[in-house]
Amino acid sequence: MRTGQSSLQGIRTLRFRLMIWNATVVIVTAIVTLMGLREAVRFTLIRELDQLLSEDVREIELSLVNFERAESTELQEQLDRKDAGHAQHKWFVQLINIQQERVVYQSQHAPHELPLSARAALTPQSYLQWRFFERNVNNVRIRIGSSLELIRADVGRIDRLVAMTTGIVLLIAPLCGYWLAGRATRPLNQMIATMAGLRPSRLDERLIIRGTGDELDRLSETFNRLLDRIGSYLQDHRDFLANAAHELRTPLAAIRNSIEVTLAKQRSTEEYEVLLADIEEEAAALSLLVNQLLLLSETESERLRVHTERVRLDELVVKAVDMFGGVAECKDITLSTIDIAASEIFGNAHHLRQVIYNLLDNALKFTAAGGTVAIELKQDGQFALLKVSDSGIGIPEQDLQQIFERFFQVDRRRFPPLDGQANTYDKLDVPRGSGLGLSICRAIVRAHEGNIRAESQLHHGTCIIVRLPLAAPLREPSKLPSPAEMPNATLQG
Amino acid sequence: MKVLLIEDDELLGKSLQRGFDEQGFDCVWCARGMDAIEELNQGSFDALVLDLMLEDMNGLNVLTELRQRGSSVPVLVLTALGSVEERVRGLNSGADDYLVKPFAFAELVARLHAVVRRTALPQKAATELIAGPLTLDITTRCARRDGCEIELTTTEYKLLEFLIRNSEQPVTRRMLCEHLWDANWEGVTNVIEVHINRLRAKIDRGFRQQLIQTVRGIGYAYRTK
């Protein structure tokens, strides 16, 4: 059973298959070449014989015309001499009186079995082992021929040579093929050995690039790049886990500390209430963080693909504006919609809402009283463009690239001041966030095959632009009502 | 109110039971799904609080079993699984509401009251809701207090209707958010307060009796007494 399997595996190897292809090609080429050569030799020999015979015919034709009669003794003597000279080829000549169908003369090797056709064949004829020419002069048919036996013997020798060579090739080609295929596939075996040794925990090993630039080198390079990407992905996740744990520590420490302090001595009921309220607040912050981490990991693992539907992005925007309208009013910020185009995208409504909420929440948080926040939704070809712009404090240029990174927060203390005025960041009453909001946005947008970017002018405002692919329209696109016709479209703020 | 609590976590179960007892509920606590099914065989309950991940079975099995018997007891599902699919699956299996762990106890109590009330009073096809001095016209979406017409925006109307349908019971900000905007926004920003204030300005300003009251640490309540 095992040997059967291993021999099957041997047959399945690339090396074995290369050998088979190699050997087949070599053997077929050799046989075709040798057969071609044999035919060429045979053809040449017959051509040579034909040449000789046709010259002889011409000579005897002239003699016959010269002597006028076929019965002439001088002619026959000449023919006898010629016959003696060519005897070893079994050369022959026949002179036949056509009207009497009588052989006037024939040399000693002349065959008797040749039929007399009505007309003289002008091209060389083959009959049994004979090759001959015919020509009519007056009433006499000249027939000159020779035996093909010698040529056949020559060709037979070539045939034996072909058979022998083929046999040798049959034996050698697979062996050489196997050896060559082994050489060609040896790097592959090395690659397999290296890959087999890779473990997710230890991905530092790389395939050796031999510098030949061939397909195997390219394969190695591609694989190495894949390893790089996997490595950085894993590193990213390790960092994420470490950061998450680190971030969870702070509220946890606060909770433990509060409890310990509370329990340290007897207190009045009011004191207990205050301390417990503190703990509850810390616990709420902890829950929020945990939920955000879950949302992030949920979107980053792209599990939302399992749960997608047609989502009216404009409806979500209108609702979000309604929802945040009150907050804006409270903070004396003008929240306005610029242009909300009916846009349908394919995705997860629950997650898309989080994107809009996060963006609006951020915009409102970082904008001072009297400022403006505007939200715009328009279509750009196959994409929906969602823009949330504010007249807030902006983002320092060196931080702009990092705001979508997990746990990144603009450093409040190092916020660049504006013309000697007090720190604009400090003037805002911004509660400390988790630093996950925008990274959640990015993860969700990416899971929807869109992209998100930020433009910002320090002290003047920020604009976040989300690009999401639109869903292909249904058969009746006219059925989509514009937001103005929607029952819930109360724009406020 | 008789509540069956099915929760396999010792610590959470204990504190929930104590909390329910202090609320004046009659609470039976089971840690295992089999025990819960037995309890359901023996007595009737006003509400179920069901954890989805039990040691001996999936909480959804209890729910399916319950619904197959034709019981319409309101069920509030507790789950540690926050993903969308889980939530949808829970609601599709016949749960009336769900809460994702970790949650605030006040939230749980408020929602429990809401689901019990929702299932106890079948929605009558009334055109008016009357709650104390206030009448809410469902068709015109207008409110009337002591004969004065009060115009409401869509958001204000939905807010008031929800409060009235849960009158005398506190509702949490999250419940209001979910009702108004299908949103489970946990951001720090309190998005509901302004809408409540605006509504108050319309229906309570100038009256001695304040119908919309703030319940500290929980949310708001519509009270006529």
Ordered DSSP codes for A347-414: E-HHHHHHHHHHHHHHHHHTS-TT-EEEEEEEEETTEEEEEEEE-S----HHHHTTTTSTT----STT
**ipTM, interface predicted TM-score of the complex:** 0.81
Q: Is the pLDDT of residue B189 over 70?
A: no
**Would you state the pLDDT for residue A485?**
44
Share of chain A above pLDDT 70, in %: 92
- A253 vs chain B: nearest CA distance in angstroms? 18
Closest residue by Cα to residue A205 from A184, A185, A190: A190
Pairs of CB atoms within 8 A across A/B = 86
Please give the residue of chain A at the shortest CA–CA distance from B199: A326
**Would you state the pLDDT for residue A103?**
85
Mean local confidence (pLDDT), A331-336: 92
Say what the pTM is: 0.68
Please give the residue of chain B at the shortest CA–CA distance from A298: B83
On whether any CB of chain B is under 8 Å from the CB of A294, the answer is yes
On whether any CB of chain B is under 8 Å from the CB of A491, the answer is no
**Mutation to test the A interface, candidates B155, B196, B200, B220, most A Cβ within 10 Å:** B155
Q: Is the pLDDT of residue A383 over 90?
A: yes
Mean local confidence (pLDDT), A233-256: 86
Q: Where are the beta strands (DSSP E) in chain B?
A: 2-6, 26-30, 47-51, 75-79, 97-100, 128-131, 134-137, 142-145, 148-151, 170-172, 212-215, 219-222
Cβ within 8 Å of B, A 416-475 = 431, 433
Q: Is the pLDDT of residue A240 over 60?
A: yes
- Neighboring chain B residues of A361 at a CB cutoff of 8 Å: 187-189
User: In this predicted structure, which of A106-115, A162-171, A345-354, B173-182 has the lowest mean pLDDT?
Assistant: A106-115
**Mutation to test the B interface, candidates A290, A323, A438, most B Cβ within 10 Å:** A323
- Neighboring chain B residues of A298 at a CB cutoff of 8 Å: 82-84
**Would you state the pLDDT for residue B123?**
60
The tokens for A467 are 């690009």
Residue type, A239: D
Mean local confidence (pLDDT), A346-371: 91
Report d(CA B68, CA B50) in Å as an integer. 16
Q: What is the pLDDT of residues A359-369, one digit of tens each?
A: 999 999 999 99
**Would you state the pLDDT for residue A488?**
44
Share of chain B above pLDDT 90, in %: 30
On whether any CB of chain A is under 8 Å from the CB of B185, the answer is yes
CB A436 within 8 A of CB A407: yes
Report d(CA A147, CA A138) in Å as an integer. 27
Please give the residue of chain B at the shortest CA–CA distance from A320: B181
- A301 vs chain B: nearest CA distance in angstroms? 12
**Would you state the pLDDT for residue A16?**
87
Please give the residue of chain B at the shortest CA–CA distance from A436: B187
Mean local confidence (pLDDT), A103-126: 80
**Would you state the pLDDT for residue B124?**
62
Is the model more confident about B71 or about A484?
A: B71
User: In this predicted structure, which of A35-44, A102-111, A118-127, B183-192 has the lowest mean pLDDT?
Assistant: B183-192
Task: Determine the 3-state secondary structure of B52 from DSSP.
Answer: coil
Please give the residue of chain B at the shortest CA–CA distance from A289: B186
**Would you state the pLDDT for residue A491?**
41
Mean local confidence (pLDDT), A258-267: 88
Contact A327 B191 (CB under 8 A): yes
**Would you state the pLDDT for residue A486?**
45
Contact A357 B104 (CB under 8 A): no
Helix (H) / strand (E) element for A241: namely: helix A215-264
Is the model more confident about B118 or about A221?
A: A221
The tokens for A288 are 């929020």
- Neighboring chain A residues of B155 at a CB cutoff of 8 Å: 322, 490, 492
Mean local confidence (pLDDT), A468-479: 71
Mean local confidence (pLDDT), B40-67: 88
Is the model more confident about A307 or about A197?
A: A197
User: In this predicted structure, which of A189-193, A203-207, A467-471 has the lowest mean pLDDT?
Assistant: A203-207
Q: Is the pLDDT of residue A99 over 70?
A: yes
| Strand A140-147 with A130-137, pairing | antiparallel
Cα–Cα distance list, A231 to A196, A216, B28, B176 (Å): 17, 22, 52, 45
Is the model more confident about A404 or about B94?
A: A404
On whether any CB of chain B is under 8 Å from the CB of A288, the answer is yes
* Average pLDDT over chain A, rounded to an integer: 84
Mean local confidence (pLDDT), B173-186: 82
Please give the residue of chain A at the shortest CA–CA distance from B178: A323
User: In this predicted structure, which of A177-181, A191-195, A390-394, B82-86 has the lowest mean pLDDT?
Assistant: B82-86
Partner residue opposite B84 with nearest CB, options A290, A304, A487: A304
Mean local confidence (pLDDT), A91-116: 83
Helix (H) / strand (E) element for A93: namely: strand A92-97
Contact B85 A364 (CB under 8 A): no
